[in-house]
Amino acid sequence: MAELVQRYLDQILADHVSSTDGALADYIPELARVDPDGFGLSLSLADGYVYESGDPTIEFTIQSVSKPFTYALALERIGRDAVDAKIGVEPSGEAFNVISVDEATKTPMNPMINAGAIAAVSLIPGATADERFNQIHEFYSACAGRQLAVDDDVYSSEKVTGSRNRAIAYMLQSFGVLDGDPDEILDVYVRQCSIKVTTTDLARMAATLARGGVEAVEERRVASAEVVQRTLSVMVTCGMYDAAGDWVSAVGMPAKSGVGGGIAAVLPGQLGIGVYSPRLDSKGNSVRGVEVCRALSANLGLHFLSVTRESRSTIRHTYDASPGVRVYELHGDLLFTGAEQVLRTLDQECGEFDVAILELSRIDDIDDAARRMLAGMRQSLSAAGKEGFVVDPDDVLRVTQQTYARVFGTLDEALNAARAHRAGSDG
């Protein structure tokens, strides 16, 4: 069956292989002399399985695709308030290398433009440039699930051509945004942009974000869910620079592009995409990369705002195990809407049972909102003169002493208690 997906991806690449629109970045010789026809696509599913199409072995520099990852690392290291004090989250609608700050706060508009990315580097704690860079390097490698390397030639070239970035860094210093020596911070920024990746790496890095911060190969948490949520938010609004609106409408995935020709795109909870083609449009985004993402989104239905299934599916099966004892088997991910639906169903049906048993052993994931709602279920039922039990062998509800819920490890135990309750000997 997997070939079917493979064929889909190969077809999408084939549909765009002949497009030669756009131009290579030429501000440094290393980028100007790459093979303009290089083309690769990788798609990493949440379980770590990676599909590849075109040439996924081509190494290119990560460039601005680095920005969300350094921002995430800064959030991890010093917390949201400290980061927010120095970098905004408003789309600038301007080019990536604009020399500007927010009029009112005098801080960079967002972390996806160079000003914000340079500020993010300065927020990574470290006494020296090497200390800062090593953390960044380790973090990217952890997200990719392998040790990444730096392209020394790109690094040297970027260092001597970075006048505009130097202007940005000194401007930030003058506004008190940069802690530390601007040249040292720029050195780290340039080194982070010069890290080499393949589309497989980008797909895996994107998948780590898609998985809420857990890398799939080692199954290691590298960032908290809150940090990832914030990072993806700025990728949605600012990741594709002045093309952000068009990107969100047409592709609908948090993403980041780089002048090396790479794009990483994230479908939260589902997958990560890495695509490479080095000819760029006037905004610095890979032309074929954008086209491929558009096609993937349209053909595979990946837009993050497409409204798919209703939460009706939370209740997998309902049956009466014995007179007056109704079992509700729940499954899938239980969030607010799913829990709400369970409670409302119990409300509607409570005239038909004496005891309701919620069977949670097939629940994949549950959030705190749903936990609180289900833990309160017994209390609401008792107001109607009914009893409610829960079967929760994996302790997904994390019932504490304070919760009123009555929890059993197996359905049989819950059924025995339910029957005893009906027979009036519940103890």
Which residues here bind ligand DON, judged by CB under 6 A? 63-64, 96-97, 114, 158, 165, 193, 257-259, 284
Neighbours of 391 (CB within 10 A): 22
Cite the active site residues.
Answer: 64, 67, 189, 241, 259
CA distances from 71 to 117, 202, 221, 385, 396 (A): 7, 16, 17, 53, 32
Q: How far is the CB of 259 from ligand DON (least distance, A)?
A: 4
Q: How far is the CB of 8 from ligand DON (least distance, A)?
A: 28
Q: How far is the CB of 97 from ligand DON (least distance, A)?
A: 6
Considering the complex, state which of residue 97 and residue 314 has its C-beta at the smaller distance from ligand DON.
97
193 close to 61: Cβ distance less than 8 angstroms: yes
Cβ-proximal residues to 349 (8 Å cutoff; 6+ apart), any chain: 326, 356
Q: To which H or E segment does residue 81 belong?
A: helix 80-84
Q: How far is the CB of 1 from ligand DON (least distance, A)?
A: 37
Q: What are phi and psi of 198, to 5 degrees?
A: -115, 175
Considering the complex, state which of residue 54 and residue 278 has its C-beta at the smaller distance from ligand DON.
278
Burial of 334 (0-12, 13-18, 19+ CB in 10 A): buried
Q: How far is the CB of 268 from ligand DON (least distance, A)?
A: 23
Q: What are phi and psi of 328, to 5 degrees?
A: -115, 115
CA distances from 261 to 93, 286, 290 (A): 21, 5, 10
- Helix ranges (H only) for 86-224 are 114-123, 129-144, 152-161, 163-174, 182-193, 199-210
Considering the complex, state which of residue 191 and residue 371 has its C-beta at the smaller distance from ligand DON.
191
Q: How far is the CB of 310 from ligand DON (least distance, A)?
A: 39
Considering the complex, state which of residue 28 and residue 370 has its C-beta at the smaller distance from ligand DON.
28
C-alpha torsion sign, points 230, 236, 239, 241 = negative
Considering the complex, state which of residue 128 and residue 282 has its C-beta at the smaller distance from ligand DON.
282
Cβ-proximal residues to 129 (8 Å cutoff; 6+ apart), any chain: 184, 185, 187, 188
Considering the complex, state which of residue 133 and residue 353 has its C-beta at the smaller distance from ligand DON.
133
Amino acid at 225: A
Burial of 368 (0-12, 13-18, 19+ CB in 10 A): exposed
Q: How far is the CB of 240 from ligand DON (least distance, A)?
A: 9
Q: How far is the CB of 336 from ligand DON (least distance, A)?
A: 37
Q: How far is CA 327 from the centre of its chain?
A: 36
Please tell me the distance from the alpha carbon of residue 148 to that of residue 159, in angstroms, as a whole number: 20
User: Pairing mode, if any, of strands 214-215 and 220-221?
Assistant: antiparallel
Structure tokens at 196: 């080499």
Considering the complex, state which of residue 52 and residue 158 has its C-beta at the smaller distance from ligand DON.
158
Considering the complex, state which of residue 107 and residue 165 has its C-beta at the smaller distance from ligand DON.
165
C-alpha torsion sign, points 155, 161, 166, 168 = negative
